[in-house]
Amino acid sequence: MSTLRIAVAQINCVVGDLDHNAALILDAARRAVEQGARLLLTPELALCGYPPEDLLLRPDFIRGCAAALAHLAADAPAGLALLVGHPHATGGQLFNAASLLRGGRVEATYFKQRLPNYEVFDEERYFDEGTAPLVVEVAGVKVGVNICADVWEAGAPEAAAAAGAQLLAVLNASPYHVDKPVTREQVLAERVLATGIPAVYCNLVGGQDELVFDGASFALDRLGRLAWRAPHCREHFATVEFSDSDIVTQPLPPVTPVEQDCYETLVLGVRDYLGKNGFKQALIGLSGGVDSA
C-alpha cells in the first residue's frame, strides 16, 4: 500500500516579483520536509504571480522566469518533489505550465490544456494550449497534473486517469465571487466521480488589482466528498495524506456566513492593492455621492 504525504502551499504571490515568490515556495518546501511530506503543491503561475498579463510579452521576463525556475530546482530540499506553476516558452510557443522539480533539476513539465477567455480571463491572448497529460510518480504514487480550468470540463482529468494517475493534483488561481468555493468543490467532484481518483486543489490567495483570490484550497476523496479545506482569504500551509488509494479525511473548519467571506475578501483586496503597489497613504472620500462610490 503506497502512502504519500502532500504539502499544500496556499501562498500570496506578487506579480512580477520572481525573487519574492521563489522565497515563498522555498520556505514552504522547507516546512514540507519538516512535516514529512514528499510532494509540495503551489498555485497556478506561482513563480511569476497571476495574472502576469503583458509581462508575458517581454522576452526578458520569460527568460527571468526560466532562470528563477532553474535556481529554485537547485535550491529545493533533497527528497522533496515540488509542483511549481510558471510560464514556459518552447518552440516559439508559450504555455501556462507546471513543472515537477526534483533532485536539483526540472524533471517534467505539464502544459495547461484549457485556456479561459471570458470575463476577467484572457489567457488565449498569451498562451498556447497543451495537448498531453502528465503523470509523475512520487513515493510510489502516480500523480496526474492539471491546472485550474482543466478541471472545469471533461477531458484533461480523464486523460490523466487514462495515463495511470491514482491522484489528481490541481494548481489554481481562481478568483472569488459569492458561492465560488462551493462551486469549485462541486465542479471538481464531477471530475473525481468521472475518473474514480481523488484530487487535491491548491488555490492562490491574495489581491491583484481588481481580482481577489480567496484560497480555500481543498481535497476530495474518490467519492467526491470533501476531505480537507484550507482557510478563506489567508495564507496557509497544510499537509494532506494519501493512503490506500484515497485521501485521508481531516476535521473540516466550520462554514462561515457569506457576509463574513465577502468582508474578508474586500479587506484582503484593499490591503494587497495598497501594499503590492507600495502606497504609503490613501485618501478616502465619504461624501456618499458618486465621487466616493
Active site residue 180: no
- Given 13, 48, 65, 112, the catalytic residue: 112
Decide if 213 contacts 204 (C-beta within 8 A). Answer: yes
Of 83, 89, 51, 52, nearest in space to 67 by CA: 89
Q: All 3 cell numbers of residue 2?
A: 503506497
Q: Which residues of 144-164 are buried (b: 16+ CB within 10 A; e: fewer)?
A: bbbbbbbbbeeebbebbbeee
DSSP 55-95: GGG-HHHHHHHHHHHHHHHHHSPTT-EEEEEEEEEETTEEE
Active site residue 13: no
DSSP secondary-structure letter at 54? Answer: G
Helix ranges, 163-252 (H): 180-195
- Given 44, 123, 241, 264, the catalytic residue: 44
Decide if 194 contacts 154 (C-beta within 8 A). Answer: yes
Sheet strand arrangement including 199-203: 135-138, 141-147, 167-172, 199-203, 218-220, 226-229
Active site residue 142: no
Nearest-angstrom CA–CA distance, 58 and 64: 10
The two counts, helices (H) then strands (E), for the chain are: 5, 15
Mapped onto helix, strand or coil, the DSSP state of residue 220 is strand
- Given 13, 148, 202, 233, the catalytic residue: 148
185 alpha carbon, distance to own chain's centre: 15
Q: All 3 cell numbers of residue 159?
A: 486523460
Nearest-angstrom CA–CA distance, 163 and 160: 5
Catalytic residues, by residue number, are: 44, 112, 148
